[in-house]
Amino acid sequence: MLKSILSKLLAVTVAVSLTACLASCGGGDSSSESKAESSSAESSSAEDSSSEPEFVPTTDEEFYEMMKIKSLVSTGNQNPMLDVIAKAKSGEEVTLAYIGGSITEGLTAGADACYAKLTTEYFTQKFGNGDNIKHVNAGLSGTPSILGTFRLERDVLQYNPDVVFIEFAVNDGSDGTYTSAYEGIIRHIYNHNPNAAVVLLFARTEDGYTAQNYMKEIGTYYNLPMISYADGLTYMFDNGKMTWKDFSDDQSHPNVEGHKVVRDMIAYYFDTVSAMEKNENDFKLSPIFLHSDSYENCHIIESDALTPENLGSWKEGSNINTFTKGWTYNKKIEGNQPLTFKLEAKNLYLLFKENKGGNLGTVNVKITSEDGTVDEKPINGITSGGWGNPTVSVLKLSQKKQTYTIEITMAEGSEEKLFEVLGFGYTLE
């Protein structure tokens, strides 16, 4: 059914005016308040998109159009995106970046058929001028926003993107760690570039799971554009116009046709905001957090930038996708000698490899603070949800920046097993 609808949409222009129902269906308005001035910042909300529209679709094509309207939770403050569009049209270089999990990476569909690449192509065709539109895809399978906070600088911000799409709704949980990490990503982008256009994208799984509820709260607080393909798909499912199998070949990843659907929802946002006028609100990032500052301005440091005080029974290098600059325990070196570092930080985190089986062991991590305080933490490489992926563990949360001495040894009984330290995450402020 989905492929048939998409084919018809290429050949048929739907002769229905939907403009009048935008406000009641989540289309946003030009009087949005500036981002994050207060927790009461107003924008078109999810509640708006649940209102009954004036137009009632009857054909497959009209339902598809309504799906796109339903997906647009809010246009947020339209000014940053309007500035980027004007920049693109003038011929200046514009970079669109995407960070998220396997959906953004394009698992099952491939890098060239995923929504991120298709969205960049749409933006290029509509607003580009020559070859001035650049593309960065920082999707990484199985990773939540907690890891995204540390990847952001290395995988996204170094390219100075004008637009950043954030997609973690099916990888995140909803406890305080996730909410703080997700907020931290948004704030880090704006601390890097106050003029960036940040867009939140919310996915869902076959069984309906999505972390979009808390993400919508954060998006409303910062008055950001929000696109929920979860809401759009649910609308189609509820009206019998699409099935999950039309959209996906597994439990969570869009297939080739599914990625086109996501592209179309994002294209609808571009079309909507490009028709708007700029408002008079200036951007100002509030010093007040909605959640916490534990993950604001996170950095990652790897073996190319951090030399150990003592390499001990370890060797340089790690073996995991996009994380090859770590340290691996080498059981051939006798004595289980500690891998030792000195690192200046406020909050400190360990990035390591986890799996649900295999020969990974447990390490003991000893952290000595400047004041002599000693913390010890065991970290097990075997976890129930692991699959050979990178993950994060908190080592130390502090009220001030200080120098830590970190010693990592294999725990008793794990001397003949393996462990991969992928790097350290840290904040300085």
Q: How many CB atoms lie within 10 A of CB 83?
A: 15
Q: pLDDT value at position 2?
A: 64
What sign does the CA torsion over 377, 382, 386, 387 have?
Answer: positive
Q: How far are the Cα atoms of 163, 217, 272, 293 from residue 37, in angstroms, in the given order?
A: 21, 14, 24, 17
Q: pLDDT value at position 16?
A: 38
10 contact partners, CB below 8 Å, separation of at least 6? none
pLDDT digits (tens, 9 = 90+) for 58-102: 999 999 999 999 999 999 999 999 999 999 999 999 999 999 999
Question: Residue 365: what residue type?
Answer: V
Q: pLDDT value at position 334?
A: 82
Question: Residue 56: what residue type?
Answer: V
Q: pLDDT value at position 34?
A: 37
For residue 159, give the DSSP letter.
G
3-state SS string for 71-135: HEEECCCCHHHHHHHHHHHCCCCEEEEEEECHHHHCCCCCCCCCHHHHHHHHHHHHHCCCCCEEE
Can you give the pTM of this predicted structure?
A: 0.88
Q: Mind listing the domains of the chain with CATH numbers?
A: 2-274 (3.40.50.1110), 299-427 (2.60.120.260)
What are the per-10-residue average pLDDT scores of the chain (429 residues)?
Answer: 58 39 39 37 40 75 97 97 98 98 95 97 96 97 95 97 98 92 97 96 98 97 97 98 97 98 98 96 85 91 97 95 95 91 96 95 97 96 94 94 97 96 95
Of 76, 366, 119, 393, the residue nearest 222 (C-alpha): 76
Q: Which residue's entry shows tokens 């094509």?
A: 61
pLDDT digits (tens, 9 = 90+) for 263-285: 999 999 999 999 999 998 777 88
Q: pLDDT value at position 33?
A: 36
Q: pLDDT value at position 50?
A: 43
Q: pLDDT value at position 174?
A: 83
Q: Are 336 and 344 in contact (CB under 8 A)?
A: no
292 exposure class (CB count in 10 Å sphere: 0-12, 13-18, 19+): middle
